[in-house]
């Protein structure tokens, strides 16, 4: 029987003991599952243009997402894949978010890690801005906004920050040279994580 995530639910064993091998449930707090189910429902019933997110087939705390670059930016019409990993104390701590699509950006390093205040736990220095009222949609909207409005005062890629300020035409060339659509990534033997 399929569960609400489109995966097969595991029935209890014949010995009467509960089968704990069901990978759709995290080992942590059931409130995390409920919160993520609610967020998924909201994303499905009220989609935001240019954003999508859905849990993996095996674990509701591991999500895949896409963000389309904002218009009138070097990222316009480009699609980026990301992964989100939710901690056992979500929403009181932020998800770990990584770009899977290669991206040239002042606030993204070569591994896909993102420097964005809302992805830092609240109370972590003066910059930690995560709050339990934030959610998957607000994270993805913030990342989409960051694509068009980088924080060059806190770059992970100093070269990109300088180029953004000095030469937008050259910056756009670097963006296009680094970006690969998901089909291209698979052709080149790179896993998209999806």
Q: Catalytic site residues?
A: 115
Give Cα separations from 149 to 106, 109, 143, 144, 146 (angstroms). 10, 16, 10, 9, 5
Please, which residues have CB within 8 angstroms of residue 92's CB and are 6 or more apart in sequence?
Answer: 132
């Amino acid at each position: 029987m399929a569960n609400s995530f489109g995966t097969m639910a595991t029935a209890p064993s014949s010995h009467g003991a509960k089968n704990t091998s069901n990978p759709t449930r995290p080992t942590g707090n059931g409130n995390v599952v409920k919160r993520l189910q609610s967020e998924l429902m909201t994303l499905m019933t009220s989609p935001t243009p240019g954003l999508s997110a859905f849990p993996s087939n095996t674990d509701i705390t591991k999500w895949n997402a896409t963000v389309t670059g904002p218009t009138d930016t070097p990222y316009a019409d480009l699609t980026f894949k990301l992964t989100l990993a939710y901690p056992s104390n979500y929403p009181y701590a932020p998800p770990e978010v990584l770009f899977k699509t290669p991206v040239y950006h002042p606030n993204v390093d070569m591994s896909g890690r993102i420097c964005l205040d809302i992805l830092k736990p609240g109370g972590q220095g003066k910059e930690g801005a995560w709050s339990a009222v934030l959610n998957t949609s607000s994270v993805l909207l913030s990342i989409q906004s960051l694509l068009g409005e980088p924080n060059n005062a806190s770059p992970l890629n100093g070269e990109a920050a300088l180029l953004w300020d000095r030469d937008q035409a050259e910056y756009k060339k670097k963006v296009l040279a680094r970006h690969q659509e998901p089909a291209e990534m698979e052709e080149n033997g790179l896993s998209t994580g999806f």
